[in-house]
């Protein structure tokens, strides 16, 4: 029996164009033909000023919108060829999302929030859902918080729950939209250290940010300007978020001592 060959790239984008209102007198050229790829276990930060096309790109990568032209292959599959229904299934199996505002359901416990993607996917029994959700929560350092509701957790802990929820289906690609945007510096670095650890374990990540310090934690950054790729940077030695966190904690302690 032959096994299907694993695709060389998780994301493969060729000449991607997105125009809003193409048939109106004032079309908006949000993406003007961009191309890049993300290898398995890659970690790419997408940067750019407001209006440069980051959200448009993220929506296309997340299969939430379709390109006007060009190709997007996700985990070896050309998404343009899929029906809406197929795409919804494919998205649930292939992608995990993390947002700036966490987007947890407030009435549900951490475990129930993390179980949700497994419920949507269907075909997984209650005990197995529970086991997988607990494993995902343990993986992000929340083994002792299964029963907590979002209001009983700090912002950083809520983002960890959201990351566990994104991981529970073992997605080919984790998409993170400004995941540290609502967090203080120290907590933001903790979340970046977690994403770096997951990336070292093999999780492929695309992260949108406008903060250079956050982007420097990735292996590569893609800078958008006016819907085009303006610059690509590869970080030979990405910034080590854990080391940055420890440095930041020492500095904070020194500031507190100085303040008496």
Binding site for ligand ADP (CB under 6 A): 20-21, 28, 30, 48, 50-56
State in angstroms the smallest separation of the CB of 63 from ligand ADP. 16
In the bound state with ligand ADP, the residue whose beta carbon lies nearer, of 7 and 51, is 51
Token pair of 1 as six digits: 């029996």
Quote the CA–CA distance of 156 and 176 in Å, as a whole number.
Answer: 15
In the bound state with ligand ADP, the residue whose beta carbon lies nearer, of 54 and 219, is 54
State in angstroms the smallest separation of the CB of 175 from ligand ADP. 13
In the bound state with ligand ADP, the residue whose beta carbon lies nearer, of 36 and 196, is 36
State in angstroms the smallest separation of the CB of 176 from ligand ADP. 14
State in angstroms the smallest separation of the CB of 56 from ligand ADP. 3
In angstroms and rounded to an integer, the radius of gyration of the C-alpha atoms of the chain is: 19
> How many other β-carbons are positioned within 10 Å of the β-carbon of residue 243?
11
In the bound state with ligand ADP, the residue whose beta carbon lies nearer, of 54 and 165, is 54
Write the CA distances from 52 to 22, 61, 71, 229, 230, integer angstroms. 18, 16, 20, 9, 10
Quote the CA–CA distance of 77 and 207 in Å, as a whole number.
Answer: 21
In the bound state with ligand ADP, the residue whose beta carbon lies nearer, of 30 and 245, is 30
Dihedral sign for Cα 149, 150, 153, 158, please: positive
Quote the CA–CA distance of 237 and 63 in Å, as a whole number.
Answer: 31
Q: What angle do CA 53, 40, 138 make, to 5 degrees?
A: 95
State in angstroms the smallest separation of the CB of 242 from ligand ADP. 29
């Amino acid at each position: 029996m032959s096994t299907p060959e694993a695709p060389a790239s998780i994301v493969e984008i060729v000449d991607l164009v997105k125009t809003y209102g193409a048939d109106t007198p004032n079309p908006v050229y949000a993406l003007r033909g961009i191309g890049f790829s993300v290898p398995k276990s890659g970690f790419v930060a997408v940067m750019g000023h407001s209006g440069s096309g980051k959200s448009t790109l993220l929506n296309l990568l997340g299969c939430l919108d379709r390109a006007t032209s060009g190709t997007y292959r996700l985990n070896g599959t050309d998404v343009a060829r899929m029906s809406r229904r197929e795409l919804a299934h494919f998205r649930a199996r292939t992608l995990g999302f993390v947002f700036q505002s966490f987007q947890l359901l407030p009435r549900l416990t951490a475990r129930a929030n993390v179980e949700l993607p497994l419920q949507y996917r269907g075909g997984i029994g209650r005990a197995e859902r529970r086991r997988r959700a607990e494993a995902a929560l343990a993986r992000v350092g929340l083994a002792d918080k299964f029963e907590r509701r979002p209001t009983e957790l700090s912002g950083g802990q809520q983002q960890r729950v959201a990351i566990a929820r994104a991981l529970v289906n073992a997605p080919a690609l984790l998409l993170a939209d400004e995941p540290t945007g609502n967090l203080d510096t120290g907590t933001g670095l903790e979340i970046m250290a977690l994403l770096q650890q997951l990336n070292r374990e093999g999780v492929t990540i695309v992260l949108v940010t406008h903060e250079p310090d956050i982007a420097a934690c990735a292996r590569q950054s893609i800078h958008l300007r006016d819907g085009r790729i303006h610059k690509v940077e590869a970080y030979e030695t990405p910034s080590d978020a854990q080391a940055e966190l420890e440095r930041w904690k020492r500095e904070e302690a020194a500031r507190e001592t100085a303040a008496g």
